[in-house]
Amino acid sequence: MAAWTTEQIPPLTDTTVIVTGANSGLGYHTALALARAGADVVIGCRDPSRGDEAARTLRDASGGRVTPLPLDLADLASIRAFVARFTAERPRLDVLVNNAGVMALPRRETTVDGFERQFGTNHLGHFALTGLLWPALRCSPAARVVSVSSMMAFAARLDLGDLQSERRYGPLTAYNRTKLANLYFMLELGRRARGTAVRSLAAHPGAAVTNLQRHAYGAAIRLIGQTAAAGALPSLYAATVPDVQSGDYYGPRWFGAWGAPHRARIPGLARDESIAARLWDLSEQLTGVRYPAGAA
């Protein structure tokens, strides 16, 4: 069977999509392919000027509809403002690609709301965003939430007693935990969305060259990694292929690092439903975002 490419994305006319962190890297190429397929793409970017520039470039390259909206996933107020602006014009959301992230910050930093920055951005920010967008997702006849994780999830173990890395902070340890948290979230969301039209999936880019590696693995990834466009393929597969199901996880075919999208293995720890439920409850308490009926 031929390898899957963006040429196989079905027409996405009348499909509304949000891609977070789309001003560069994986998010940019995800948004580009979706816009070329005809989707109405909204990109959430922390820096408004970079978001505007990326949207212009994406429109020129795709000939499609791309709208930038400010979104800082490390700020709950910014997330709420983004959702308010989005839903004021678009009551329905068909695809949410939770792509944005930060990686291996050398020193422990905190968000506006006092969360450790990697956990606050990569997990809590997307948890809050998805919950606030839940009514818009429920308006779609076949909505999808795609959580972008990483192979580094296999190197993690979640410490529910120290989610904020207050006792001990390790740049990569903190990052790896957030990527495992993304998978706990994806699977738990799928369980809580049973009986609705919302599918919860995940993807990882393998070894892809992006700005994410500025603090770790940069030299190695530049030497052996695939392009950001190739790294975006698993996310695009999860977001567009008709017969995917909740709980599916996709990554590159060859050793999980390179190649066309393929079913990826989920770390065994991520399948612990009791940990996932506890993480969900803690995430609701920390963010103040509680999912409406239909995700409970």
User: Are the CB atoms for 72 and 120 separated by under 8 Å?
Assistant: no
State the DSSP H helix or E strand holding residue 245, giving kind and residue range, or none if neither.
Answer: none
What backbone torsions phi and psi does residue 234 show, to the nearest 5 degrees?
-60, -40
Instruction: Say whether 249 is catalytic.
Output: no
**Cross-strand bridge partners of residue 252:** 261
Greatest alpha-carbon span in the chain:
50
State the DSSP H helix or E strand holding residue 251, giving kind and residue range, or none if neither.
Answer: strand 249-254
CB burial string 117-149: b at 16+ within 10 A, e below: bbbbbbbbbbbbbbbbbbebbbbbeebbbbbbb
Q: Would you call 70 helix, strand, or coil by DSSP? A: strand
From the list 28, 175, 237, 250, the catalytic residue is 175
Q: Which residues contact 42 (CB under 8 A, 6 or more apart)?
A: 16, 17, 18, 19, 66, 67, 68, 69, 86, 90
Residues with a catalytic annotation lie at 175
